[in-house]
Structure 1
């Protein structure tokens, strides 16, 4: 050992209270897209509870049923299908989605929601102009209000739903892709024309 190395060793030993080596135990952990230890259902429940407290929305659906609505929405199921599963009217599902900020372009048929939201005329007058029934205009206004409410919260609730439900789907798809890619790589170049 040269003089510099010995000097560094002495400094190291004095700093580490006389220990000759320093090691930290390591634990093998599996990777995950989800950093939170709670389950998706628990996190959804917390999110829905926060939204109920903040917005005070009324719905005949329980928190469990609202979780189902959110999950099925991300599974791209229609309001009619979700309503049938939960045994409630389709309008109840729409109202629940609206309250949870889970509305999208499909709910408004490419209509200028801002223009409709800002109009002061009644639904019947606007419906005549757009050649639709007043109930459709009412729905558009509700979608516009939900989008505005979501925007006012910086889309944080919608982003959290995306994180929980879209990432869960992404993780599942990625795991499948990895398994398929791994098998493909392992069998690449192998002769497969074998007769028994």
Structure 2
């Protein structure tokens, strides 16, 4: 051993209380699709808090209720169903979804949002032209505004919701598939026509 190596060895043994070797025990951990240590709830709370801070949106819904709206959106629940569960108006759920950039295809499937967005006419004029109510025109304009706001943020928040809620659903579905495939493999070739 040269002098430098001996010095390093002496420093090491003094720091490790005289131990000549250091080994760290390893444990087998199960894989996960989600690398983030925080729970789904904590991650959602963080996204909602950041959006509130950035956009300053006002809603009568609490952060917990906003999270319930996001989860419901990913579970394909309607605004009416979510409103009934939360005990709030359906319009509040719709506004919450728009504030969270959670726009579905069904929100504006009957109209060209690009055309609505570019028009300066009042709601009554557009309602007559598209043969819908003024309330529907206001809704379409709100959907277009939410899409614009999301696009301006490079769909960052929508992507985060996709990652959090989409991954948890995917992980659950994959775990179910693995269990089913394992059972299928274990029983493959077994005689199933057994009479008692």
1:96 matched residue in structure 2: 96
Deviation >4 Å, runs of 4+: 14-17, 20-24
1:128 equivalent in alignment to 2:159: no
- C-alpha distance in structure 2 between counterparts of 1:168 and 1:40, whole Å: 8
Question: What is the total number of aligned residue pairs between the two structures?
Answer: 185
Mark the runs of 5 or more structure 1 residues left unpaired by the alignment: 1-9
Matches within 5 A, 1:24-103: 25-103=25-103
Matches within 5 A, 1:105-116: 105-116=105-116
Deviation at 1:26, TM superposition (A): 2.3
Q: Normalising by the residue count of structure 2, what TM-score does the alignment of the two structures yield?
A: 0.88
Mark the runs of 5 or more structure 2 residues left unpaired by the alignment: 10-19
Deviation at 1:125, TM superposition (A): 0.4
After superposition, the C-alpha distances for 1:97-142 in whole angstroms (9 at most, x for unaligned) are 0000001210002421111011100011011110001110110010
Q: Normalising by the residue count of structure 1, what TM-score does the alignment of the two structures yield?
A: 0.88
1:6 matched residue in structure 2: none
2:193 matched residue in structure 1: 193
1:5 matched residue in structure 2: none
Deviation at 1:21, TM superposition (A): 8.8
Deviation at 1:27, TM superposition (A): 2.0
- C-alpha distance in structure 2 between counterparts of 1:70 and 1:86, whole Å: 13
1:158 matched residue in structure 2: 158
| Alignment root-mean-square deviation, CA | 2.1
- C-alpha distance in structure 2 between counterparts of 1:140 and 1:126, whole Å: 11
- C-alpha distance in structure 2 between counterparts of 1:24 and 1:123, whole Å: 68
